Structures are given as structure tokens and as C-alpha cells.
Structure 1
């Protein structure tokens, strides 16, 4: 519900054109050697599991050895943020090295070039198999000061053995890794994959949500735990009356769930949130009405859509003391005698007074017909969530 600044998708590799070797600037499928080729030519059979020992910072290339551009780029991309499933980074093993390098957007040609250096100076990472294990084996290392110090040394180094374009790319990638390791509020844009129970009802294995970089003024561009908890509830029990209006749709998880369940849905948020909301609906091949709705003035929306909404949904809608009154007023304007209101709210300790104000206001004109408390997770830890269903008095 809160504004944000736009950012462009950017792949530093797109700036790089090697002087001697022609290294691909994209990662299309035809730049990757086939799985059979990897198995036949590169994959080694280990008699032990030494290559599965968690990484130590001394396993990384020493800057004093002036590692080539390809070496630094491969390492920095391998230690990039892993896929995020729900609210946890994916730590799943990857048996196929091709999948690892594709996920990390690393063409195998660059991997092969870097291995020649690793064989001489860094035997811990001297094969395709060993490099493909880096994302998993670096997980614990990322929590240490040594890891942050290593990245800081790269940023502070002039990398004088590289050319200007290469230096810019390495510094950019290193900055991203530092940001990713500083918590969600400092992380760059990510794709979050959502997987819930009974997803077969949706005809999907998972849902993909694009989340731009999170700052204090664009909280509507992050997926919050309330929407995940409420989405699971809707999948398990989706006896809802159409049409459905969601106020403050954010990244669109609930709207995507409802669309997959074949409901007629209207998803709304503020102007700066709507473009990302639309993109997430497209990413997941979903349809629905998506438009701007300002709680302070819903008349433009109602004029454009003269619809009697039979269900109105709000998920985690209060971030300031002004929100309870705004919610109360917009509901009074939108609700009909047949409307059901579904609200999911985390029981955050610092928001007790604001929640109480919301319940007090709603009880003036609406009757609570159902309430439930359950536990769930968010990126900021386990949280207790409250679900309530209201109908007009």
C-alpha cells in the first residue's frame, strides 16, 4: 500500500565483452553444454565425500593471487542468494551441475575457464562438481564475519589486474552479495516461490512472486506472512461469494490463489504497487481485474467498477495509527448487506493498540461471525496470526 521507487532489471554480465575470449553475455539454453556432455567429459566420481565438507573462507580465492575475472565472477554468482521458497532460502541438494549453473546464470564456458585457475591455486574448487556444491556448502559461512570481511576486501581493492569493465562488474556483484547478506530490508529484487499444501487444487506446483528491493516506503512490494497463512486457508476451504475484492493486494499472492480457484477477483492497491502486482499475475498466468484504489478516496474506483462485492479481503492491512479509521471508512463505502469481510492480521506486539482500535470500529457496524488464531512464519520469525470474518449488522 505504500509507494516505492522503480528499479531496472540488470545483469552485470551484459556489460562484459572479453578482449580475447567471446564469453556469452546471456544465459540462453544453447550456451550450456548438454547434461550428457557434462557427465561424459567433466563430472568426476568421488570415492569419498571430501568435496561435501562445508566451506571455509580460506577455500575462497586469495586476492593476493590476482584471480582472473572469470574466477571472481563464478564465485560471486555461486554465493548469490539461493532461491527463496516461502520464507526460507532453498538448501536443497542439486545433483545436476547444469541446474546449479543455470539457476545462478553462469554459462559453462566461464566455469571451464575458471577451473583451469582453480586447479593450480584453489584445489578445493577445482572441478565442476566441487563448484556446483558451493551454493549449499557456503550457507553456514555466510553467517560469519570472515565472509563479510572477504567481500569487503574485494570492494576495497582496486583489482588493478582487471580492466575497467571487469572491475565494475565484480564490484557490482560483490555489492549485491553484501546486500543479500544484510537481511531482507537490504536485499535486492528477488523471486519468491510459494508452495502450499494441496497445491494440486490450483493446477500449479508453486507460485512465483517478484519482489523489488524492500525499503521503508514500499512495504506493499513484499510478501508478508499473513497472505501466506490466508492463502492456505482459502485453498483448504474456498466457499466464498463472488465477486471478490481485495484491498491492499501487495504482491498478489491471495489474488493469484483466488484466480487459480476460478473466482471473479478484483485486486487493488496504490499506484506504485499496481505495476508489480500486474506483473506477478502475468508471471503466474492468472487473470483478474487489477486497478488502483486509494482508501482515502474510493469513488474513482467505484465509478469505474459499479460492482456489488460479496466478499472483501484484507491481509495485514495496518501499518500506522491512521489505518483502522481508513479501513472502517472504505468498508462502509464498499460493503453491501450481503458482503462478507475476511481479515488476516499478525499479532505484532507493538501494534496491539492499533488492532484494538480496528476491532472496536468494526464492531460498530459489523458482526464477527468467526475467529481463529494460528501460528506461522515470516522472514522476521515465527508469528501468531488472527483471522476474523465479519458481516454487516
Structure 2
């Protein structure tokens, strides 16, 4: 049974390293595990309840550890570890952006008898204002869970096992933390190349390695490399992406934040999507506000304005969630899903 704050060992009592570590570990507030069966309001309420329980007392206690010289602990490394752990517990009570590095588990249902339920483990480094690629956005989870449906419908000709051909290598653009690409490798039992800006790639590789055994046990595989849209040669892995028109399937989720992104993304898709009428680019954009809706319309037009246009074959909307906002209304996000091809389409031709 957890101790109440008034029963915590005080600094004047000179508690040992193991005792303090146990207390600090018991105070951890982890981000919620995403589960589409559970209402976001319930998840948030649970987290807020944990965070606010005796918050003032817990904060004062954490501060006492941070301020203490811990001189009775005769090991500077252990002192540092306690100060760092107390600081993490403090930041956890200040919201997601202050939490530093976190690791989440993302549950997936099985796809019939041939596919057992599984979880992916995704690390998110500390968030900063210009590091949007270090957060796992809710739309990536929405599209990840929709992958089996895509393979059975829009991408059926590509993944039809009766044709006797291995599934094609898939490219994910702007992978961020890699949830979508890793899920694609697991669900589709194929090789997926995850890509993003050079500074995002190290964490992307970590997440690939963390989930490698699970993905390979399901028949998939992965690789990672930098691919900067419109970037110079040194910002693009030439071994992976030096050749154009390689990939029959290109995946993208939540890629539009700046005015130059629609044209850059359209160009990147065109450069990498394989030639031929069966190739498909699957794009998901959460419509958070008027700005995002405007960027989506610009992207659709940019796809048509390419020298070899890409046409919108089908589109639909799916309900999603983000944990970026502080209230329920901000958490619920409608996600637009579009499937593009190099052939003509009644939607855009």
C-alpha cells in the first residue's frame, strides 16, 4: 500500500538511497496507454486524479529532496540520481510538455485468427517548441489501426496474397516517433522504411530497435534513414532514397504545419512513389482548425500541380484523438484520409 505524503521519510531523518528511490518511483505519473475502447475524458480524468492527489504535499516533499545536499549519502552519483528522479516527478505534475522523455505502449487488436493482438513501445524524447517529430500524434494511431482495413480495400491489389508475389516495400514520410511505420511492418508483414529529418532519426532508430523482435516475429522488417523534403544530398540517405520511384505504397500521417509543407510533401511523394497505376500514397491529416484545413486544400492542389499529377482516388474521415490539448474538445480530432494514385480519378480529374 502506498504511503501518504505525511508518512514519507523526511530529510532530517537521513533516509537511505534505496528508501528514497522507492518513494520516488512510487510517485511516477506515466502518460496514459492509448486505448480506443476507453473515452479520452476517462483517461484524462484518471491522470488528473493521480496528479492532483495531495499535489501540494507531494510537491513540497519533492522540493525538499531537490534542495537537500543529501550529504549523508556517500556517493555523488546516487545523489545525482535522486535529484534527477525527484525533478522528473515534479515535471510530471506540470503537464506533458514538461515531462521530459516518456515511453508509451500502444495496443492493437488482432486482425482475425491470423493476427494476434500486440503492443508497440514508442519512446518520445522531451518536447521542445521546434521538435514536433518527438511526439506521437493521435492521427498516427488512427491510421495505424486502420491499416488492416486499407490492405483489404484500397490497397487490395497490392497486398493480395493470391497473386503469389511478396508484398512491396513501403515508405513512410515524416515518421516522427515511428508508430505508423512500425505498425505497417507488423500488420502488413513487409519491409517498411521509416524516414524523417536527420535530428529525428536517432530516436526513430531507437524505436525501430525496441520493436524489432515483435515485428520480425510477425514477418515484417524495418529500416530507417534521413529524408528531408526538398533537402540537399547530405540531408537524404542516398543508399535508401537515391533512386526515384521505388515504392508502391507511401504512408504519411499529420505532415502539414507550415505554408511550405503542402508543396514539399507533394514533391516528396511524387519523387518516391513508384510509376504505374497501382501505386498508392495514403495520407492522413487531422483537421484541428481552419489553418490545418487550409493546408490540406493547398496540399490537394499541390498534388494536381505536379508535372506528373497525383490524383485523389478516394477520401474519408475518421475520428481521432490527441493528448496535446487540455480539455475534451481539444482532444477530439476529425482526421481526413486520402488515397492518391498516378492514374485519373473521378474525384479530381
Give the stretch that moved more between structures: 310-319 or 56-65.
56-65
Residue 36 of structure 1: aligned partner: none
Residue 204 of structure 2: aligned partner: 277
Contact 1:85 1:193 in 2 (8 A): yes
Contact 1:83 1:193 in 2 (8 A): no
Contact 2:133 2:176 in 1 (8 A): yes
Give, in whole Å, the separation in 1 of the partners of 2:139 and 2:255. 10
- Specify every segment of 5 or more residues in structure 1 that has no aligned partner in the other structure, as ranges: 1-50, 91-135
Give, in whole Å, the separation in 2 of the partners of 1:67 and 1:343. 55
- 1:369 pairs, out of 291, 313, 316, with 313
Q: Does 1:355 align with 2:296?
A: yes
Give the stretch that moved more between structures: 226-235 or 166-175.
166-175
Q: Deviations over 1:89-108 (max 9, x none)?
A: x9xxxxxxxxxxxxxxxxxx
Q: Deviations over 1:326-358 (max 9, x none)?
A: 112222333334231211111121433323322
TM-score (norm 1): 0.66
Residue 264 of structure 1: aligned partner: 191
Residue 68 of structure 1: aligned partner: 16
Residue 182 of structure 1: aligned partner: 94
Residue 296 of structure 1: aligned partner: 230
Contact 2:109 2:116 in 1 (8 A): no
Contact 1:231 1:253 in 2 (8 A): yes
Cα distance, 1:276–1:385 mapped onto 2, change above 3 Å? same
Give, in whole Å, the separation in 2 of the partners of 1:169 and 1:279. 23
- 2:124 pairs, out of 194, 211, 219, with 211
| Bigger Rg over Cα | 1
- 2:141 pairs, out of 211, 228, 233, with 228
Q: Does 1:192 align with 2:140?
A: no
Contact 1:87 1:377 in 2 (8 A): no
SS for the counterpart of 2:176 is coil
Give, in whole Å, the separation in 2 of the partners of 1:216 and 1:86. 23
RMSD (Å), alpha carbons: 3.2
TM-score (norm 2): 0.73
Residue 146 of structure 1: aligned partner: 57
Q: How far apart are 1:298 and its partner, in Å?
A: 7.7
Contact 2:98 2:126 in 1 (8 A): yes
Q: Deviations over 1:126-184 (max 9, x none)?
A: xxxxxxxxxx9x82545833332332232223345444624333212111111222222
Contact 1:325 1:358 in 2 (8 A): yes
Q: How far apart are 1:230 and its partner, in Å?
A: 0.2
Give, in whole Å, the separation in 2 of the partners of 1:306 and 1:202. 33
Q: How many pairs does the alignment contain?
A: 296
Give, in whole Å, the separation in 1 of the partners of 2:54 and 2:316. 37
Give, in whole Å, the separation in 1 of the partners of 2:209 and 2:81. 31
Q: How far apart are 1:84 and its partner, in Å?
A: 4.4
Give the structure, 1 or 2, with the largest relative contact order (CA under 8 Å, sep 6 or more): 1
Q: Does 1:389 align with 2:301?
A: no
Residue 253 of structure 1: aligned partner: 179
Give, in whole Å, the separation in 2 of the partners of 1:56 and 1:296. 56
Q: How far apart are 1:238 and its partner, in Å?
A: 1.8
Q: Deviations over 1:57-80 (max 9, x none)?
A: 334334454433332221001112
Contact 1:198 1:236 in 2 (8 A): no
- 1:157 pairs, out of 46, 68, 86, with 68
Residue 378 of structure 1: aligned partner: 322
- 2:262 pairs, out of 287, 306, 324, with 324
Cα distance, 1:69–1:270 mapped onto 2, change above 3 Å? same
SS for the counterpart of 2:199 is coil
